[in-house]
Amino acid sequence: MSELTNEIREQIKKRRTFAIISHPDAGKTTLTEKFLLYGGAINQAGSVKGKATAKHAVSDWMEIEKERGISVTSSVLQFNYGGYCINILDTPGHQDFSEDTYRTLMAADSAVMVIDASKGVEAQTRKLFKVCTMRHIPIFTFINKMDREALDTFELLDDIENELGIATCPVNWPIGSGKRFKGVYDRNQKEIELFSDTRKGTTTGKVRTIAIDDPEVDMLLEEGQKEQLMEEIELQDGAGAEFDQELVSRGELSPVFFGSALTNFGVETFLKHFLRMTTSPLPRQSDQGAIDPMQEPDFSAFVFKIQANMNKAHRDRIAFMRICSGAFDAGMEVHHIQGGKKVRLSQPQQLMASERKMIENAYGGDIIGVFDPGIFSIGDTLTASQKKYAYEGIPTFAPEHFARVRQMDTMKRKQFIKGINQIAQEGAIQIFQEYNTGMEEIIVGVVGVLQFDVLKYRLENEYNVDIRLDNLPYEHIRWIENEDVDLDKLKGTSDMKKIKDLKGRPLLLFVNEWSIRMVLERNEGLALSEFGRS
């Protein structure tokens, strides 16, 4: 068995891998860009919004994203800063793509939650936050858009604590908001960082700091601002939670920072604190116990995302992997646990959105993309170890919306089947067939209705296939756990539909939730599940 060398251990120690989550329009993509700006990965930030001629956000690469100004897929971005190698997983903000976000969070060691200072906690933040708490990962809060009118600071903190059930500890404190926004007060250093608008954040800008007891502070702040700040800090010191690194690491206390991603203010301060408060890659659970990157010398990874046709010039499929231990070398041969055979990981690359960079090496904590000839599935484990083990699987969400798919040109049947299967393998949609028929009638299930638009768009643009979607009234799906059930003899309800998945397993669709209970009562011993087995 190989040994964990000091070089590999040092490389893994430098890694920080985190996801950015937020409600749409809270400024997540802008914050991601500013991290890259400080890391020297890009020279100028582009904005998703704005004129058609404006540069699109670095992390938004799919055409439909550029047209709509929303992120619909997770992007993976890597940069170096302050001696750290940072992997950012930028997630879709829209709730219709929450399943993609969930899978991405499985590959992260911590999460940055971006909140709009004028709106507080919004619906999507709540949903994504629950996923983080399920995994007990550290959550860091960046309250954005302080250069616009904001809610009261205490109100924002209460909102996070009440809505998300997590204690907060502000590391800095805002002085005013909107036109009266002067900067932030660092509670630990007892210094004020002064705000200056750096031409909408296309450059990194300089930050001026000044001690709170410096007489010049009275000249720099507006009348009454220093007194208000001192009162608020005294109140927070007396009633707020104290900083506790252990609670942060357990995901029970969220450090809070204030700033403006658009103007760059507070971004670098946040990044520095964040890197100090997070850890290098953590152990991962497998069916053989925890695999610790600081102990396990051999390469191991799991697939958390598959994306076809990222670049029309390449026409390929990329499997994104989170490396959990050891070192990766280009072209290495590994065990594909679920496939039961050895595979060579070819064309390894790291991505800056749709830009590709071929790589020779990567380490525990890194995210890499490898060429997928169609053999990988989400949740698969790859390892170079003689000891065979599989990492915990990634559960699939039950679809909530269903539609029958009809292709407009029957001559393009081959492209249609290929396209819909490839998109399904990415996990964005789930495909079902009518019971007792072949692939003639295809039913698609999605978590959010926008996925239907993405499916239609991608089939048209990537596979040259036009489709029509006929919405179905069903909202609930259940897999049948019993292997010996005769579907023909099943006593159903008028709003129930029998279907099967691609592996031939029987499922039931229902319009009403009460029908599920009725079917269970009518069929003694029937066992139904909300989740399909992989």
For residue range 192-223, list pLDDT tens digits in order. Answer: 998 876 555 555 666 788 999 998 988 888 88
Judge whether 173 lies within some domain: yes
Residue 204 and residue 128 share a domain: yes
Judge whether 429 lies within some domain: yes
Judge whether 98 lies within some domain: no
Residue 197 and residue 50 share a domain: yes
Q: What residues contact residue 94 under an 8 Å CB cut-off, 6+ apart?
A: 24, 70, 71, 72, 124, 448, 450
How many Cβ atoms from other residues are within 10 Å of residue 128's Cβ?
25
Judge whether 105 lies within some domain: no
Judge whether 97 lies within some domain: no
Question: Which long-range CB contacts under 8 A does 328-333 form with residues at least 24 apart?
Answer: 328/299, 328/301, 328/361, 328/362, 328/363, 328/366, 328/368, 329/360, 329/361, 330/358, 330/359, 330/360, 330/361, 332/299, 332/384, 333/384
pLDDT < 70 stretches in the chain: 1-2, 41-75, 91-100, 124-125, 127, 197-206, 309-315, 351-356, 395, 437-440, 531-534
Judge whether 95 lies within some domain: no
Contact present, 395 and 348 (Cβ < 8 Å): no
Measured CA distances, 27 to 245, 276, 378 (Å): 27, 23, 29
Residue 327 and residue 233 share a domain: no
Kindly compute the dihedral angle of the four CA atoms of residues 334, 339, 340, 344, in this order, to the nearest 10 degrees. -20
* H runs (alpha helix) in 262-335: 267-277
Q: Which residue has the tokens 């590709």?
A: 356
Q: Which of 213, 247, 277 is the last residue of a domain?
A: 277
Beta strand segments in 200-298, E: 208-211, 253-258, 284-286, 289-291
pLDDT of residue 374: 80
Alpha-carbon gap, residue 489 to 480, rounded angstroms:
14
Residue 293 and residue 271 share a domain: no
Residue span of the structural domain in which 412 resides: 401-529
Residue 163 and residue 246 share a domain: yes
Residue 363 and residue 423 share a domain: no
Is the overall model pTM greater than 0.85, yes or no?
no
Give me Rg for the CA atoms of the chain. 25
Handedness of CA 508, 512, 513, 517 (dihedral sign): negative
What is the distance of C-alpha 443 from the center of its chain? 27
Query: What's the domain count of the chain?
Result: 3
Q: What is the CATH number of the domain that holds 358?
A: 2.40.30.10
Closest to 445 measured CA to CA, from 131, 74, 99, 103: 99
Query: Residue-wise over 6-31: b if at least 16 C-beta within 10 A, else e?
Result: eebbebbbebbbbbbbbbbbbbbbbb
Residue 293 and residue 177 share a domain: no
Judge whether 497 lies within some domain: yes
pLDDT of residue 95: 53
Q: What is the CATH number of the domain that holds 507?
A: 3.30.70.3280
What is the distance of C-alpha 450 from the center of its chain? 17
pLDDT of residue 203: 57
404 membership: H or E segment, kind and range: strand 401-407
Residue 272 and residue 291 share a domain: no
Q: pLDDT tens, 141-181?
A: 999 999 999 999 999 999 999 888 899 999 999 999 999 99
Contact present, 286 and 391 (Cβ < 8 Å): yes
Alpha-carbon gap, residue 52 to 66, rounded angstroms:
9
Contact present, 114 and 28 (Cβ < 8 Å): yes
Q: Which of 383, 414, 442 is the last residue of a domain?
A: 383
Measured CA distances, 117 to 51, 114, 129, 143, 236 (Å): 25, 9, 17, 6, 18
* H runs (alpha helix) in 293-425: 413-425
Residue 450 and residue 494 share a domain: yes
Alpha-carbon gap, residue 176 to 147, rounded angstroms:
9
Q: What angle do CA 480, 481, 487 make, to 5 degrees?
A: 40
Q: What is the CATH number of the domain that holds 258?
A: 3.40.50.300
pLDDT of residue 94: 46
Judge whether 100 lies within some domain: no
Residue 120 and residue 243 share a domain: yes
Taking phi over 0 as left and psi of -120 to 50 as alpha, with beta for the rest, 327 belongs to: beta
| Residue type (1 letter), 224 | G
Q: Which residue has the tokens 């926004």?
A: 181
pLDDT of residue 172: 95
Tokens matching residue 42: 């890009």
Q: Which of 353, 383, 413 is the last residue of a domain?
A: 383
Residue 289 and residue 263 share a domain: no
* H runs (alpha helix) in 81-201: 98-106, 123-135, 153-164
| Residue type (1 letter), 127 | K
Residue 429 and residue 515 share a domain: yes
